[in-house]
Amino acid sequence: DAGITQSPRYKITETGRQVTLMCHQTWSHSYMFWYRQDLGHGLRLIYYSAAADITDKGEVPDGYVVSRSKTENFPLTLESATRSQTSVYFCASSESHSGGYTFGSGTRLTVV
């Protein structure tokens, strides 16, 4: 999984703070995704991007913002963190439409 990296690995933040999770991939994959993983809910799609400057909402986009100014980067920003956003966040990329995804190692975010 060396080709897709997430940072930070762990983050604790306070309610109301803005926090940005970083995702970087080295393959120039067109597609990138953000998921959150919570007990009892599995993985839920937050946002995805089909190419630079093209983003779209997933199942649970409220409270999150993304951008994709460069193909290799897809940061996820929590504009005003809430406790309900405590979760493990995974970034993924895919070379093609209808292909397998490669996942990063995740960011464990705790909002206190």
Based on the shown chain and the rule CB under 8 A, indicate whether residue 22 belongs to the binding site for another protein. no
Based on the shown chain and the rule CB under 8 A, indicate whether residue 42 belongs to the binding site for another protein. yes
Q: Which of 11, 13, 43, 77 binds another protein (CB under 8 A)?
A: 43
| Residue 90 Cβ vs another protein, minimum distance, rounded to whole Å | 6
Q: Classify 83 as helix, strand or coil.
A: helix
| Residue 16 Cβ vs another protein, minimum distance, rounded to whole Å | 29
Q: How many CB atoms are closer than 10 A to CB 107?
A: 22
Q: What is the DSSP letter of 85?
A: G
Q: Is 93 left (phi over 0), alpha (psi -120 to 50) or beta?
A: beta
Q: Which of 28, 40, 83, 84 binds another protein (CB under 8 A)?
A: 40
Based on the shown chain and the rule CB under 8 A, indicate whether residue 34 belongs to the binding site for another protein. no
From residue 45, give the alpha-carbon distance in Å to each of 14, 15, 41. Answer: 24, 22, 11
Based on the shown chain and the rule CB under 8 A, indicate whether residue 102 belongs to the binding site for another protein. yes
Q: How far is the C-alpha of 18 from the C-alpha of 81, rounded, in Å?
A: 6
Based on the shown chain and the rule CB under 8 A, indicate whether residue 13 belongs to the binding site for another protein. no
Binding residues for another protein, per CB under 8 A? 1, 31, 33, 35, 40-45, 48, 50, 58-59, 90, 92, 97-106
